[in-house]
Amino acid sequence: MTLGVRRWDTLGDSVQGVGKRCNQDWWACEGTGSGDEPLVLAVADGHGSAVHARSELGARFAVDRFLGLARSFGRAARDGHEPGRLARLMTYARDDFPRALVQEWRSAALGHWDRHRPVADDGAAEPEPGDKLLLYGTTLIGAVLTPWLFVAWQIGDGDLAVVEHDGQLRRPLAPAEEDLGDETESLCGAQAWRAVRTHWAPLFDEARGPRLVVLSTDGLSKSFAAADGYREFVEGLDGRLAREGAAGVKAVLPEWLRQASQYSGDDTTLVAALRPVRPASATEQKTES
C-alpha cells in the first residue's frame, strides 16, 4: 500500500432520453492522473435513429477503444521532458491517434457485425463496410490528463469545457460554427479521422493546469434556451463544486441530467474531473491508492 497525491475527483452519470428504446450514450472515467495511471475521460453519443440501429454498441466500442489508446498514450507521456519527445507526442496526438482510434472502432464494429449478422436474407447482397458501420454511428469526446499533459479529441457534437486554474472558462474543441439541426460528424463517416479535432496542452506547471474538465453529450447543451446557457451551466457547476465538492454535485447530477433530457429529448451524459482544493495548511492531500 502506498500513499499518493489525490490529483482529481471525478463524477459522471448518464440518463436515457424520453421515448428512447435504450440509452445510446456511453461514458467512462478511469485513472488517477498520475504518470503511471493517466486520468482518462470519455463520452460517446450513439446517433440513435433507425439508420444507426446499433449505435448504443458503437458508442460503447468508441469509449472502450479510446480508453485503451489513451491509457497507452498517457503512459508514453511520462518522459515528455526528454528532448524532442514532446514534439513527437504532439505529432502522434494530432495525426496518428485519430487514425488509430477510427481504425480500432471500425474493427470493433465490423467484428461485431460479423458475429451478429442479421437473419440471412436469401439472395441479399453482403452490405458494403460503410453500410455496416452506419449502423454503429456515434460521436466521441475523450481526454487524457497526466501531470505534464492535457490532450483531448472530439469527433461530432457534444461539448468539452475547461475551467483553467484562474477560473477562465474555455471550450477548446468547439467548432467555429455549430452544426445546424441534429446532423453531426461521426466515427462511421468516410475518412472519419479527418473530422477528429484535437486539443493539445502541455502542462509545464501542474498547479497551473485546469481545475475542472467537463465532457458532455449534446443532450445537455441543446436543452438550454439561451445560446450561452451551457457556458452558464459550466460556470455554475464550477461554483457549486468549489462550495460543496464533488460529493454534493454527485447527489444532484442525475436529476440535472434528467431535466435536461426532457427538453433536448436526447440521452444526456456528463463526466467531469475536478482538481481538489488543497488545504492551505498542507501542501498535499494524502489518500491511499
Partner 1 sequence: MSDIPGGAMANRPVHFIWLLDCSYSMQGEKIGQLNYAIREAIPEMRSVAHDNPAAQLLLRTVTFSTTAQWHHQVPVPVDDFTWQDVQVDGMTNLGEALTLVSRELQSPPMPQRALKPVLALVSDGVPTDDWKAGLKAIDATPWGRKAVRVSIAIGADADRGVLQEFLGNPELQPLDANSPKQLAAAIRWASTAAVKAASQPVAASADPLAKQPYAPPVLDDDDDDDVW
Question: ∠ CA(109), CA(110), CA(112), 5° rounding?
Answer: 65
What residues contact 99, with CB distance under 8 A and at least 6 apart? 193
List the grid coordinates of 45. 453519443
Contact at 8 Å (CB) between 151 and 200?
yes
- Told to check if 244 binds partner 1 by CB under 8 A, we report no
Q: How far is the CB of 158 from partner 1 (least distance, A)?
A: 12
Nearest CA-CA partner of 154 in 5, 238, 43: 43
- Told to check if 184 binds partner 1 by CB under 8 A, we report yes
Of 1-9, 36-44, 140-148, 177-185, the segment contacting partner 1 by CB under 8 A is 177-185
Helix or strand (DSSP H, E) at 231: helix 229-264
- Told to check if 216 binds partner 1 by CB under 8 A, we report no
- Told to check if 250 binds partner 1 by CB under 8 A, we report no
- The three-state secondary structure class of 198 is strand
Question: Which one among 164, 202, 235, 245 touches partner 1, defined by CB under 8 A?
Answer: 235
List the grid coordinates of 145. 490528463
Q: Among residue numbers 49 through 68, which ones bind partner 1 (CB under 8 A)? A: 49-52
Of 2-10, 41-49, 82-90, 106-114, the segment contacting partner 1 by CB under 8 A is 41-49
- Told to check if 189 binds partner 1 by CB under 8 A, we report yes
User: Cell 502522434 belongs to which residue?
Assistant: 92
- Told to check if 154 binds partner 1 by CB under 8 A, we report no
Which CB atom, from 50 or from 282, has the smaller least distance to partner 1? Answer: 50
What residues contact 262, with CB distance under 8 A and at least 6 apart? 18, 223
Question: Which one among 125, 207, 227, 282 touches partner 1, defined by CB under 8 A?
Answer: 227
Which CB atom, from 145 or from 271, has the smaller least distance to partner 1? Answer: 271
Of 7-15, 61-69, 204-212, 249-257, the segment contacting partner 1 by CB under 8 A is 249-257
Radius of gyration of the chain (CA): 19
Contact at 8 Å (CB) between 156 and 62?
no
Q: Among residue numbers 134 through 153, which ones bind partner 1 (CB under 8 A)? A: 134, 137
d(CA 107, CA 109): 6
Of 2-10, 81-89, 216-224, 273-281, the segment contacting partner 1 by CB under 8 A is 216-224
Question: ∠ CA(31), CA(35), CA(38), 5° rounding?
Answer: 25
- Told to check if 193 binds partner 1 by CB under 8 A, we report no
Which CB atom, from 118 or from 254, has the smaller least distance to partner 1? Answer: 254
- Told to check if 215 binds partner 1 by CB under 8 A, we report no
Contact at 8 Å (CB) between 236 and 212?
no
**Strands, sheet with 9-15, edge to edge from the N-terminal-most edge strand:** 9-15, 268-274, 212-216, 159-163, 169-170
- Told to check if 232 binds partner 1 by CB under 8 A, we report yes
Interacting residues with partner 1 (CB under 8 A): 17-19, 47-52, 134, 137, 178-186, 188-190, 222-227, 229-230, 232-233, 235-237, 239-240, 252, 255-256, 258-260, 262-266
